[in-house]
Amino acid sequence: MDSDRRTFCKTAAAIVAGGVAAAVPIGAGMSALLNPLRPGSKDAHDFVRVAALDAVPNDNVPRKFSVVADQVDAWNKTPAVPIGAVYLRRSPTNVVEALNAICPHAGGFIDYLPAEACFLCPLHKSLFNSDGSIKDRSSPAPRAMDTLPAEVRDGAIWVKFENFRAGVAQKIPA
């Protein structure tokens, strides 16, 4: 009986000591591995100049432009590199709209088809109207294309660029 208890204590002590020793490197490794889950200080992009106003005729037809901004990629900071694309369109009354070119379904890159006056995602064939709303009820996209804040300043269009989470009905920052 006594020797049973001694054996049990030794077994438990060996498992605890070995477990604690092994847990340290595993814990340190997991901490680094799970680092991306930390609430980051990812600074959202400010408004950036995307195109001259004249480059977007006031015919309500969307046109694609690259968004060029300073990029932070882990340790690198790179000034003025393309970070995404937007469709811009301007109404006859000079209202400017900006749509993120990424499909809200699965993140495909959306094309604009001028002949049909609609957007088409080449991956799963989501269809959107030229204002970005869902065109076809059977469309796989869970929400309309993501609109972005756009302003006209000194004859140029400025956009506050942002990406959103794909595959959900709500527009949640990525």
Nearer Cβ to other proteins (72/113): 72
**Shortest gap between Cβ of 129 and other proteins (angstroms)?**
40
Question: Considering beta carbons, is residue 61 or 68 the nearer one to other proteins?
Answer: 68
CB of 74 to other proteins, least distance (A): 6
Taking a C-beta distance cutoff of 8 angstroms, is the pair 89, 63 a contact? yes
Q: Provide the minimum distance between the beta carbon of 76 and other proteins in the complex, in angstroms, as a whole number.
A: 5
> Is the CB of 79 or the CB of 92 nearer to other proteins?
79
- Please report the beta strands in the chain, taking only residues with DSSP state E, as ranges in sequence order: 47-52, 63-73, 76-90, 96-100, 111-113, 118-120, 127-129, 147-148, 150-153, 156-160
By C-alpha distance, which of 68, 115, 65 is closest to 89?
A: 65
State in angstroms the smallest separation of the CB of 92 from other proteins.
43
* Chain residues that interact with other proteins, rule: CB under 8 A: 7, 10-11, 13-18, 20-22, 24-26, 28-35, 38, 72, 74-78
